[in-house]
């Protein structure tokens, strides 16, 4: 943070002094306003408005609200994105600040910029001239603002060493805990926010972007902030404090918990979209997938928390946005299991690599360090799962990860590829592997996802590779690549070498190689969950393996779609809050993806009763 000239009165029509010291681009500087005793006597959080309108050397305008920082201190925090002289003008409901103007200098920096969705399914750090590929690898620390500072610093140092690039936490205190950042709806706790400011600065300085969740769930935010005006003021306060830093905005840990979650997130998401001048990425946590919220036009990426690969694999082919696995499973390395998704390290690692093959970016969590319902224990910071995450990062940092897409012409494993350049095959159950490639000369290595070690093999030149992992005692990753070609591509292409094109989904029932066999009737009852089944109508090489995703929606009630099943057969899991009144008309969409990645869609309508 760059030290500032204190604006106590701004007595001149134009402030001649430099307000901030020369500030590197993408670094926060602050304009500080000293309120009088009379101005601060009421509630400045409610009653004082000070907004800066900043004009860049390229004549782009950014509107940044200020925030009350306790006592008589009011702050506008802003990060310049262009080098050169910036001009600003102040708007305020306090007459002595209204219309005041000033300038400051921004200097070039080494910062690659702020995070943006890029290249359909991937991420980049973007400034005006460049896009730098960004490898999202997240950690979970729900109680980020509140854990012991020494434990926090130790965790951050370890996560930086382990190459984590994101950390996910909730601004508000956990339900049932003493007030933290907000004492009441109209009373933020400046000391708690100042501590959070410093923690975000610490994370950013270690190369870690902070994924800020606004609340644990809808009930918490609507209980603390009963009116929309209070919730909007809360969102504006978060934007004012943190938009100048390297953050993303996330809604709740799980938006499906209560009726009205979609509507609540729409108002919150659109407020972020309207107020944040930097347009940091926006999404929300979920019990399954947040894709149901994409039609509301505030989300930039989809978060998922399903262990069914059918969900991640099929949705990756449906939507032109990046996907983040929000923690479908959490590693238990000794702290204990308290949630259904808490698993041992081996299960966690296999889930990590399978979700990667789906096209998802991972978010890690350990039951001993995630916070929330339990304390953060330093002894679990360097867990086996965290070390395997570091190995994952080291592996993908050697690839053109920002161009990899799921690849289907493989037997014996699951694959990603930039065709003709690089192929990655995850072999969960070691055995023979065969993959079709473009005919070139390739380097070959097997990667141990437990230790991070490579076992190099002889290079080959062909249009097909066949082989087996070095051992059968654990999972392996096959890496087939043209390393020389990749080196030349880094010099030849600024970002992507070719566009990613989404397939057209086949919606004709006559062309689908499967049908909905169950439920066979035309009604479903929540009191007697229905069995579902897809039945193949044509058996070909393409249908030798199939993935299925069952989506339910009561469109009239506006709650959005829900995953109600995955796989060829099972029992529907239909949430009670999918509809507001019963009986309801339930539309069921069945997506089926064959072994070649082709997706078909069938629709059937049922009457849903309680």
What tens digit of pLDDT does each residue of 305-349 get? 999 999 999 999 999 999 999 989 999 999 999 999 999 999 999
Report the number of secondary-structure helices (H) and strands (E) in the chain.
Answer: 11, 40
User: Are 519 and 531 in contact, with CB atoms under 8 Å apart?
Assistant: yes
pLDDT in tens, 242-277: 999 999 999 999 999 888 899 999 999 999 999 999
Q: What is the pLDDT of residue 117?
A: 97
Q: Which residues pair with 565 in a beta bridge?
A: 550
Q: Give the burial class of 148: count Cβ atoms within 10 A of its Cβ; 0-12 exposed, 13-18 middle, 19 or more buried.
A: exposed
User: Are 406 and 415 in contact, with CB atoms under 8 Å apart?
Assistant: yes
HSE-up (13 A, CA, CB side) for residue 327: 28
DSSP secondary structure of 480-507: EE-HHHHHHHHHH-SS-SS---PPPPB-
- Compute the average pLDDT of residues 467-477: 97
User: Which of 304, 298, 243 shows the shortest CA–CA distance to 115?
Assistant: 243
pLDDT in tens, 501-545: 888 999 999 999 999 999 999 999 999 889 999 999 999 999 999
DSSP secondary structure of 564-594: EEESSEEE----GGG-SSSSEEEEEEEEEE-
Would you place residue 557 in the very low, low, confident or very high pLDDT band (cuts 50, 70, 90)?
A: confident
Q: Which residue has the higher pLDDT, 14 or 463?
A: 463
Q: What is the pLDDT of residue 3?
A: 47
| 13: pLDDT strictly greater than 80 | no
Report the chain's mean pLDDT, rounded to a whole number.
Answer: 94
pLDDT in tens, 356-387: 999 999 999 999 999 987 889 999 999 999 99
* Domains of the chain and CATH, by start: 6-107 (2.60.40.10), 114-397 (3.20.20.80), 401-492 (2.60.40), 514-609 (2.60.40.730)
User: Are 441 and 456 in contact, with CB atoms under 8 Å apart?
Assistant: no
Q: Which residue has the higher pLDDT, 229 or 373?
A: 229
Tokens at 94, concatenated: 């306090």
Q: What is the pLDDT of residue 503?
A: 87
DSSP secondary structure of 433-450: EEEEEEEEEEEEEEE-TT
Q: What is the pLDDT of residue 1?
A: 57
Q: Which residue has the higher pLDDT, 560 or 586?
A: 586
Place of tokens 């053109």: 400
Q: What is the pLDDT of residue 2?
A: 54
Would you place residue 11 in the very low, low, confident or very high pLDDT band (cuts 50, 70, 90)?
A: very low
pLDDT in tens, 565-584: 999 999 999 998 899 899 99
- Distance, in Å, from the CA atom of 156 to the CA atom of 172, rounded to the nearest integer, reads 20
- Compute the average pLDDT of residues 479-484: 97
Q: Give the burial class of 557: count Cβ atoms within 10 A of its Cβ; 0-12 exposed, 13-18 middle, 19 or more buried.
A: middle
- Distance, in Å, from the CA atom of 324 to the CA atom of 248, rounded to the nearest integer, reads 12
- Compute the average pLDDT of residues 276-298: 97
Would you place residue 10 in the very low, low, confident or very high pLDDT band (cuts 50, 70, 90)?
A: very low
| 4: pLDDT strictly greater than 70 | no
Sign of CA dihedral 536, 539, 545, 546: negative
Place of tokens 């059918």: 310
pLDDT in tens, 156-190: 999 999 999 999 999 999 988 888 999 999 999 99
3-state secondary structure 385-414: HHHHHHHHHHHHHCCCHHHCEEECCEECCE
Question: Do the bridges between strand 14-18 and strand 599-609 make them parallel or antiparallel, or are there none, so unpaired?
Answer: unpaired
Q: What is the pLDDT of residue 17?
A: 40
DSSP-derived letter for residue 289 is B
- Compute the average pLDDT of residues 221-230: 96
pLDDT in tens, 36-85: 999 999 999 999 999 999 999 999 999 999 999 999 999 999 999 999 99
Helix (H) or strand (E) holding 238: helix 228-242
DSSP secondary structure of 311-363: HHHHHHHH-SS-EEE--SSEE-SSS---STTEE-HHHHHHHHHHHHHHTPEEB
Helix (H) or strand (E) holding 231: helix 228-242
Q: What is the pLDDT of residue 540?
A: 94
For the chain, the helix, strand and coil percentages under 3-state DSSP, each to the nearest 5? 25, 35, 45
């Amino acid at each position: 943070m760059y030290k500032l000239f204190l604006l106590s009165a701004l007595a001149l029509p134009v402030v001649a002094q430099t307000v901030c010291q020369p500030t590197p681009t993408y670094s926060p500087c602050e304009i500080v306003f000293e309120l009088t005793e009379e101005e601060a006597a009421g509630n400045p959080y409610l009653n004082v408005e000070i907004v800066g309108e900043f004009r860049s050397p390229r004549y782009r305008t950014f509107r940044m609200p200020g925030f009350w920082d306790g006592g008589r201190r009011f702050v506008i925090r802003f990060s310049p994105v262009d080098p050169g002289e910036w001009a600003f003008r102040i708007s305020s409901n306090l007459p002595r600040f209204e219309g005041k103007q000033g300038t400051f200098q921004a200097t070039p920096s080494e910062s690659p910029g702020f995070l943006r969705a890029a290249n359909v399914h991937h991420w980049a750090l973007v400034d005006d001239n460049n896009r730098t590929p960004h490898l999202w690898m997240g950690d979970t620390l729900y109680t980020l603002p509140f854990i012991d500072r020494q434990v926090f610093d130790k965790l951050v140092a370890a996560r930086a060493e382990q190459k984590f690039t994101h950390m996910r936490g909730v601004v508000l205190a956990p339900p049932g805990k003493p007030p933290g950042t907000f004492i009441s709806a109209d009373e933020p706790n400046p000391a708690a926010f100042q501590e959070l400011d410093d923690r975000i600065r610490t994370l950013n300085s270690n190369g870690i972007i902070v994924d800020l969740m606004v609340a644990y769930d809808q009930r918490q935010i609507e209980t603390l902030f009963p009116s929309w005006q209070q919730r909007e003021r809360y969102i504006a306060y978060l934007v004012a404090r943190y938009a100048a830093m390297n953050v993303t905005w996330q809604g709740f840990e799980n938006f499906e918990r209560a009726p009205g979650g979609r509507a609540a997130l729409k108002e919150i998401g659109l407020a972020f979209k309207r107020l944040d001048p930097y347009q940091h990425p926006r999404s929300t946590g979920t019990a399954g997938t947040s894709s149901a919220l994409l039609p509301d036009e505030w989300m930039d990426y989809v978060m998922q928390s399903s262990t069914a690969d059918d969900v991640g694999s099929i949705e990756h082919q449906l939507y032109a946005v990046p996907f983040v696995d929000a923690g479908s499973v959490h590693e238990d390395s000794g702290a204990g299991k308290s949630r259904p998704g808490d698993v041992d390290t081996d299960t966690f690692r296999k889930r990590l690599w399978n979700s990667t093959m789906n096209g998802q970016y991972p978010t890690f969590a350990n039951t001993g360090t995630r916070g929330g319902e339990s304390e953060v224990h330093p002894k679990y910071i360097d867990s086996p799962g965290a070390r395997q995450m570091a190995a994952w990062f080291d592996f993908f940092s050697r690839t053109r990860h920002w161009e990899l897409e799921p690849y289907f012409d493989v037997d014996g494993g699951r694959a990603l590829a930039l065709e003709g350049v690089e192929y990655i095959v995850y072999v969960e159950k070691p055995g023979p592997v065969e993959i079709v490639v473009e005919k070139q000369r390739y380097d070959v290595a097997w990667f141990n996802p437990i230790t991070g070690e490579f076992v190099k093999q002889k290079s080959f030149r062909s249009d097909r590779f066949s082989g087996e992992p070095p051992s059968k005692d654990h999972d392996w990753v096959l890496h087939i690549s043209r390393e020389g070609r990749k080196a030349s591509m880094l010099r030849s292409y600024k970002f992507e070498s070719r566009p990613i094109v989404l397939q057209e989904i086949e919606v004709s029932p006559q062309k689908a190689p499967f049908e909905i066999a169950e439920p066979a009737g035309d009604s479903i009852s929540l009191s007697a969950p229905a069995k579902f089944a897809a039945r193949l109508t044509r058996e070909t090489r393409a249908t030798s393996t199939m993935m299925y995703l069952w989506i339910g929606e009561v469109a009239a009630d506006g709650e959005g779609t829900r995953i109600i099943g995955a796989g060829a057969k099972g029992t529907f899991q239909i949430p009670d809050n999918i509809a507001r009144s019963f009986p309801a008309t339930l539309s069921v969409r069945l997506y089926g993806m064959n072994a070649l990645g082709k997706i078909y869609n069938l629709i059937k309508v049922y009457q849903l009763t309680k």
